[in-house]
Amino acid sequence: MFEYKGIKIRWHGHDTFSLEKGLTICIDPYKLSRPIPADIVLISHNHFDHLSLEDLKNTSSSDTVIIAAKECVSQISKVTYGELIGILPGQEKVVNNVKIKAVHAYNIDKINPDTSKPFHPKEDNKIGFIVNIENISIYHTGDSDLIPEMTDLQPDILLVPVSGTYVMTAKEAVKATEKIKPKIAIPMHYGTIVGSEVDAKEFKAMVKSCEVQILTKE
């Protein structure tokens, strides 16, 4: 667990994080080791390792607001929730005084050999999230390459993929960090499907523009 100005940030493996300050936000719950009762759940896109109905059932209740990329909404069934909101890149929602902005997340050069298309095409409107809690901003890039929309966002905390194959490599994530200009970067998207802690450590060793925290999986 890493704490920044009263916000507790926990990494649960892969792209899954929980943010806690007065309420609990869970992002892309997948292969959870324990239930995480959440006030807000954010889903970045429709791939099984981000939209996991089994894990949603372990985070969502009748009091939970689920905010998901619009492509996910029709697939979220048999899950208890209070409200389900579909969102597109550029849109913002405010829930319990937390501002949540959806931003683009897509591939430029990570191509699926079976389809000859990117694993995460821009036209699908898959998303990342900028979460603002009491004027502290946390940017979860979702599954993305370094894209023009990322430039100079200047969040306090950046949650960035480092594994390559479907997302940025460690070296690409360093370039993204330089362009995004966070105060602190936390690597993700390793140790479950592709990538390993070696990628996270390589990223940390190369980043010179900000502090890097490698979290232990909870």
Confidence category of residue 49, pLDDT binned at 50, 70, 90: very high
pLDDT at 74 over 90: yes
Phi, psi of 70 (to 5 degrees): -55, -30
* Architecture category of domain 2-212 in CATH: 4-Layer Sandwich (3.60)
pLDDT at 84: 98
Distances (CA, A) of 204 to 36, 174, 189, 194, 217: 28, 8, 14, 18, 17
pLDDT tens profile 90-121? 999 999 999 999 999 999 999 999 999 999 99
Is residue 194 within 8 A of residue 164, CB to CB? The reply is: yes
Q: What is the mean pLDDT of the chain?
A: 97
Digit-coded pLDDT (tens) for 117-164: 999 999 999 999 999 999 999 999 999 999 999 999 999 999 999 999
Ordered by start, the domain boundaries in the chain are 2-212
pLDDT at 78: 87
Residue 147 identity (one-letter amino acid): I
Residue labelled with tokens 């997340």: 105
Kindly state the average pLDDT of the residues 1-7. Answer: 97
CA neighbor of 173 nearest in space, from 155, 157, 186, 183: 186
Do the strands 98-104 and 92-95 form a parallel or antiparallel pair, or are they unpaired? antiparallel
pTM for the structure as a whole: 0.97
Q: How far apart are alpha carbons 98 and 78 in whole angstroms?
A: 26
Q: Give the position of tokens 């959806």.
A: 102
Task: Report CA-CA distances (Å) from 201 to 41, 193, 195, 205.
Answer: 29, 17, 11, 6
